Chain A
């Protein structure tokens, strides 16, 4: 059962561009990426769009559909009403390259700035022993497929280009949280650097990152807020500071 769907697709490059209307067939059960492919094959051979797995596992087809940051492969056509015009634009937090493809290199630069995992120097491969409950928190964050929708939705950089230099964004806050909660990581100043170098304090926990995450990672509740609390432990809480000076307890801070 085919139906027609009206799309308003943004086409252009870094200097200019505009929304263009197309009407295309949509088959039952299809997702937005399918109809974009049909547009590409039948009407706009050179329409640029990124995609890979088409199963919500690689995080390539990030774009904004009716204004919401989404994966095109996870947005079913049936969720739109008959006759509705669906607006499709590239991610609006990043520079556009062409059509629906944006330059997401910002994220790879930020990834480079977070010190890598460092195991204890005397740990030999195969000797690590970790309990499931100790790895579960970090495992949640390692579900991240790096679609960068959270980065796109985050108003700190979406609405303030100038913050990009001092703010790592939700994707990298979960990376920092992952490492800070990793049972084997020996780097102990991740809380301080999260606040001082990666801009954790810029986050005002308005939760858009969590709302748009296709992996349903509880970015705000499980990573950002716990990290903010850990930062308070080492930077703002006078009592904990005193406690740590007196007792020097390991494994807690």
Chain B
């Protein structure tokens, strides 16, 4: 969804979600290539098509909302970044290095008994890495939430996402 980058616009949108009892799974906001226009990406879990349609219509009624796109059933690029601080005494460090490698995650901070791992990818991938690291003792996790847009070419897609993304 693209919006005018005006004061309070995020408040308008989240207020609308609260008022109409829609639960936001995640939300990301940032500038776009156009000055004064921001992109917001929401992940919202809804029960049915009708609710999804209502959300989009209600968002469209906002004066500062320029365009809303439901990309749940489209070919999309979706990415999330997570920072994971995990307990890592010297004895298990090597093991952790090996474990995160297939995820193309990187170590961004090292201290005496912990590591901070940065991972980027689809939310499922981030989820999977967190689960793998859990046995070592996760101290903190910070996730950005998903940001996304549609791919350049739209093929018939087999995307099986349950979450509804706009």
Q: Answer whether A and B are interacting partners.
A: no
